[in-house]
Amino acid sequence: MAGTEINNQGRAVRPGEELDWEALDEALKKAIPGLRGEPVVSQFPGGNSNLTYRLQYADDDLVVRRPPFGTKASSAHSMIREYRIMSGLKPVYPAVPEMLYYSDDASIIGSEFYVMRRVEGAVIRKVLPAQWQLGTADIRHLCTRFWEKLIELHQVNVVDAGLEDFGRADGYVERQVLGWNGRYQRVTTPDVDPFADVQEWLKAHMPVDSGRQSILHGDYRIDNVVLDHERPHDILAVLDWEISALGDPLMDLGSSLAYWMQPDDPAELRGLSMQPSMVPGMLTRKEILALYQDRTGVETGDFDFYLVFGYWRIAVILQQIYYRYFNGQTSDQRFAGFGRAVQSLGVHCQELIAG
């Protein structure tokens, strides 16, 4: 079914994104006991940034992550950060894959990388699998559990996870606003507006530092979780921790809600939907905010800043990728329309601000 990787299998490796499989196989067999035979190699189609490959051995099933080819931000694609946060979370937040190996030896595949054990389950994208035959109540249950898993993450004790030095929570909002504005300014292209007014509004409306310190996923979406085949509301693993951090959890919630489209959103926004959030039974953004406040006690009534920031951050992420495509650093045709998407998101930010 289009838009659904129900078996989370992987596909043929995209042209230009092949690795030195022989060198990788040799390194993995030295680092991970018991690997036998030659691996069957494939690539996961999801994700627009870091590259994810599957190496299926006779007696093990591994996933390898490395940064993209071409220009990349110094911290946004840090493999050691991903490896460390999942290693720390595993004992206190079991919904992460098992970490097996990290290497910064670029002579193996041309960059740092890490290896984790593949979690068997379903990864859904734009549609829910018809074979699940989910009714409205089932979909609501799945949706509620999805957002509760983010709430559980925000309530993890960072000391228990050994991640108290993973970053500075104080001043997080300001660093995020200035950081994302700066990233956008560095990757502008002549066919997309600069949106200086949006950047200035965010700088002028930053909330006072809340003092809350949570582990933030940074890119929490349905296609970044692995669901149980038989019980789809059970989340087996949360994936893609490349921009995780410590900071105000409302920033994380705002970023996730910006991905969450509703039937009453503008058409150009609905056209960017990457998950089945408009299916009958899914919670609205208002209902999600109420759920978050009920479970955490954190006030979510005045949420305009966080939502505008969320949309703007997505625009910057897409523009960073589009910049690589625009300048010929990648030929991946999935990125050809990202400039138009950035334009739509920036205009939506302007409309929210004006409203």
pLDDT, tens digit, 9 for 90 and up, residues 221-245:
999 999 999 999 999 999 999 889 9
Q: Per-residue pLDDT tens for 138-182?
A: 999 999 999 999 999 999 999 999 999 898 888 999 999 999 999
Task: Answer yes or no: are the C-beta atoms of 173 and 213 closer than 8 Å.
Answer: no
Q: Where are the domains of the chain?
A: 4-117, 123-354
**Rounded Cα distance, 240 and 79, in Å:** 11
Q: According to the model, what pLDDT value does residue 75 have?
A: 55
Compute the half-sphere exposure of residue 165: CA atoms within 13 Å on the CB side of its CA: 1
In angstroms, the first-to-last Cα distance of the chain is 39
Q: Which residues contact 145 (CB under 8 A, 6 or more apart)?
A: 233, 234, 235
Q: State the burial class of residue 24 (Cβ atoms within 10 Å of its Cβ: 0-12, 13-18, 19+).
A: buried
Residue (of 111, 342, 119, 71) closest to 226 by Cα position: 119
Q: 3-state DSSP helix/strand/coil percent for the chain, to nearest 5?
A: 40, 15, 45
Q: Per-residue pLDDT tens for 287-323?
A: 999 999 999 999 998 899 999 999 999 999 999 999 9
**Rounded Cα distance, 225 and 234, in Å:** 10
Measured at the CA of 280, the angle between CA 133 and CA 129, to 5 degrees, comes to 30
248: left (phi over 0), alpha (psi -120 to 50) or beta: beta
Confidence (pTM): 0.88
State yes or no: pLDDT of 330 exceeds 50.
Answer: yes
**Architecture per CATH, 4-117:** 2-Layer Sandwich (3.30)
State the fold for domain 123-354. Answer: Aminoglycoside 3'-phosphotransferase; Chain: A, domain 2 (3.90.1200)
